[in-house]
A = this chain, B = another copy of it.
Amino acid sequence: MIDELQMSPDTILPLRDVVFETLRKAILTGELKPGERLLEIHLGKKLGVSRTPIREAIHKLELEGLVTTIPRRGAEVSRITEKSMHDVLEVRRALDALCVELACERITKEELTKLEMACLEFEEAVAKGDVKMIATKDVALHDIIVQATGNQRLLNLITNLSEQMYRYRFEYIKDVSRHKKLVDEHRVIYESIRNKDKKTASEAATRHIDNQMQAIIERIRLEK
């Protein structure tokens, strides 16, 4: 007899979710560009589904902030302005500071070990100079910290805010001269969390986002 049997949960993912993920990815990777209109019939034909799941996916994307809709006119990919990105990063900075403070209080020994590992793996990626790997390891590291807060709502919000800056995630990594700074900042964050030193941790996290903000805003100005 079988004691426990777990079925793969996404065997029959609803179409609307498939469409949502597809469009989301297309927007984040820049395949669908800011300002581009999202026509329901057109997308439906392209993806081989009816308008209904397309509509539902578009609405979900709207709530996530990735698309903007005008009544009786339809949806378009949200335009990114310097102001909107600044707004996002300003909030993100505060929430990241909150994250590390809460992590100081609540992180477990296991998570702390994982965090140290993530730091090392990040340094390794930097040593290799592999930009894609650096980005991946950076996300992994921050993920561990958010998880350690145990706050689901905080996790959701940070995930969403990160999404808004996805297109620019390489900007602050590409500049090799910043690499040492990045490694140092991660180390400070890790050590201050280990020492339960909230003040140092939150200052480091704030600086960390500040640096990214600078790089991203610079990039947006260039796009004009």
Residue of chain B at shortest CB distance from A161: B153
Asked if B102 and A152 make an inter-chain contact with CB atoms under 8 angstroms apart, the answer reads no
Asked if B153 and A88 make an inter-chain contact with CB atoms under 8 angstroms apart, the answer reads yes
Residues of A in contact (CB 8 Å), total 23
Asked if A91 and B84 make an inter-chain contact with CB atoms under 8 angstroms apart, the answer reads no
Residues of chain A whose beta carbon lies under 8 Å from any beta carbon of chain B: 14, 55-56, 59-60, 63-64, 71, 84, 87-88, 90-91, 94-95, 97-98, 102, 151-154, 157
How many monomers of this chain does the complex have? 2
Asked if B87 and A98 make an inter-chain contact with CB atoms under 8 angstroms apart, the answer reads no
A111 to chain B, nearest CB (A): 18
Query: Of B60, B71, B97, B154, which one neighbours A87 at CB under 8 angstroms?
Result: B154
Give Cα A116 to B120, complex, Å: 52
Query: Of B14, B84, B151, which one neighbours A90 at CB under 8 angstroms?
Result: B151
Measured between beta carbons, the chain B residues less than 8 angstroms from A153 are 84, 87-88, 90-91
